[in-house]
């Protein structure tokens, strides 16, 4: 079954000098998997401390974010095999539907 893989992150990484760098700080706060098909499916609510998520997909998908999101074929598109980072609000969710 097609899936999206969600990694919840609180902070960016930091260099030894303390300067912020554009990498994800691990370990993650939480990880989720959502099965994706022809109807919109929601994730669980993000951790309250989650500030950005890394989403990887093994199929083309359309995404929507919010308190009670519904993904449609006209919402944010991600092609199969892609990985993206999104700034989010703790407690929000992501919904996904299989795209074309």
DSSP string, the chain: --EEEEEEE--EEE-TTS-EEEEE-SS-SEEEEEE--SS-EEPPPPPTT--EEEEEESS-EEEEEESS----TTSEEE-TT-EEEEE--TT-EEEEEE--
Question: Is a pLDDT exceeding 90 seen at residue 39?
Answer: yes
Q: Is the pTM of this model over 0.85?
A: yes
pLDDT tens digits, 61-89 = 999 999 999 999 999 999 999 999 999 99
Question: What's the pLDDT at 35?
Answer: 97
């Amino acid at each position: 079954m097609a899936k999206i893989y969600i990694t919840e992150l609180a902070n960016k990484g930091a260099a030894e000098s303390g300067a912020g760098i554009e990498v994800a700080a691990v370990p993650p706060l939480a990880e989720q998997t959502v099965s994706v098909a022809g109807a919109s499916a929601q994730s669980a609510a993000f951790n309250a401390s989650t500030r950005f998520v890394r989403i990887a997909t093994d199929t083309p998908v359309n995404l929507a974010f919010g308190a009670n999101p519904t993904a449609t074929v006209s919402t944010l598109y991600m092609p199969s095999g892609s990985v993206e980072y999104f700034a989010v609000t703790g407690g929000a969710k992501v919904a996904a539907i299989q795209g074309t």
